[in-house]
Amino acid sequence: MAAKSCPDSVYVPEDITRDIFSRLPVKSLTRFQSLSKDIPKLFKTPTFISEHLHHSRSNPSLLCMVLSLQRNMYLIKREMKEEPEQVNCPINLLHVCVVGSCNGLICLHHVKLSSPQVFSIWNPAKKEFRQIEPPKNKIHDFILSPGFGFSATANDYKIVILENKVQRVYSLSRGTWRETKVQNLDDIHFPSRFYQAVSADGALFWKNIGCLISFDIDKEVFSKIELPPGVDDTYCLRLAVYKDSIAMLHCTSDDPVVVDVWVMDEKSATGKCSNWVKLFTVGPIPGSTLEYYPFNFWRGELLFVKLIEGARVSLYNFNSNKFKNLPFIPPCNIFRRWFLYVESLVPLDG
């Protein structure tokens, strides 16, 4: 019997191929670029970049910056099937702070006192790095920590600096800084400039004494947002992101630990109102906030960081009401920053 001939190739419809590609890691997509001339062009189209980002955002990783004599970054994946990956930054991290992580882009702030304060944006997955030209007028002193976020309305990534009565905003799409006078914050005091900005739903948010401060990334306007009734602004109040909305993790008890989770409605991000909803309460958890400090939500679970006796990361499952320790223990007990991170094809050329 004659052997049946096999076709040289199998035809796969273009829409199926595109869908498969959109679910792959960036490292895999890089290898596929040599298959044809059209594939690299596809990976650069805004539509495909958005599709890939949509799938990637459903599987975020943790980015940990460890404060030691030589700062290191580690990428922690949820499955933890392998050792955390040490992320190699193209610059020395000794005098660098992470401003924020958004859609696969990481904003870095170079804070060495002997040189001008400089920002850069980095896409680790694509191994692309771009240093941002500083503003024409010298940066003096921040009264809020810098912020970095994305506006879907403007389709733009922006860096925000607040100095005294002046705001400076860098637009990635324009490639320029814009300097304007600040409105709506005349009655605000800023003793808390080291609080980290959190990006959610087209706005940036900072914890401050007695209130939150928000910045509409599209309109480039600051606003004051009141805290929920009965919530104070102690050290155990942390901003987080819950289903793309700004949330607050408020520890109402230190030992045992009890955490109220508040979420703000959509209109509040613009400062028009401050409607907070308390979604649920976690606890009581035996121990203190030094052992279980709430950090953020990670793929449907609440992430806690242990601050003493061997720093460790734990996940709290709402269905089982149980903790699970991640096996990763960084080489230093002191953490600089924790961020949620997703791979993306987002370009740095605006």
Q: What pLDDT, on a 0 to 100 scale, did the predictor assign at position 122?
A: 93
Residue type, 215: F
What is the set of domains in the chain, with CATH numbers? 14-56 (no CATH), 57-341 (2.120.10.80)
What kind and span of H or E run contains 106?
Answer: strand 105-110
- Structure tokens of 329? 């223990």
Q: What pLDDT, on a 0 to 100 scale, did the predictor assign at position 224?
A: 86
In the predicted model, residues of the chain with pLDDT beneath 50 are 1-3, 5-6, 268-273
Using CA atoms of 310, 313, 316, 320 in order, give the dihedral in degrees to the nearest 10. -70
3-class secondary structure, 342: coil
Whether residue 258 contacts residue 284, with contact meaning beta carbons closer than 8 Å, is answered with yes
Q: How far out from the chain centre does Cα 239 lie?
A: 12
Q: What pLDDT, on a 0 to 100 scale, did the predictor assign at position 36?
A: 79
Q: What is the pTM of this model?
A: 0.85
* Of residues 325, 340, 205, 342, the one with CA closest to residue 274: 205
Q: How far apart are CA 253 and CA 258, in angstroms?
A: 5
Q: What pLDDT, on a 0 to 100 scale, did the predictor assign at position 69?
A: 56
Q: What pLDDT, on a 0 to 100 scale, did the predictor assign at position 10?
A: 67
Concatenating the DSSP letter of every residue in 187-234 gives T-----TTSPPEEETTEEEEEETTEEEEEETTTTEEEEEEPPTT----
Q: What pLDDT, on a 0 to 100 scale, did the predictor assign at position 290?
A: 64
Bridge partners (DSSP) listed for residue 168: 161, 179
Whether residue 303 contacts residue 295, with contact meaning beta carbons closer than 8 Å, is answered with yes
Question: How many of the other CB atoms lie within 10 Å of CB of 97?
Answer: 17
Whether residue 109 contacts residue 96, with contact meaning beta carbons closer than 8 Å, is answered with yes
Please, what is the Cα angle at 269 between 261 and 297, to 5 degrees?
A: 35
Q: What pLDDT, on a 0 to 100 scale, did the predictor assign at position 133?
A: 83
Please, what is the Cα angle at 200 between 52 and 170, to 5 degrees?
A: 85
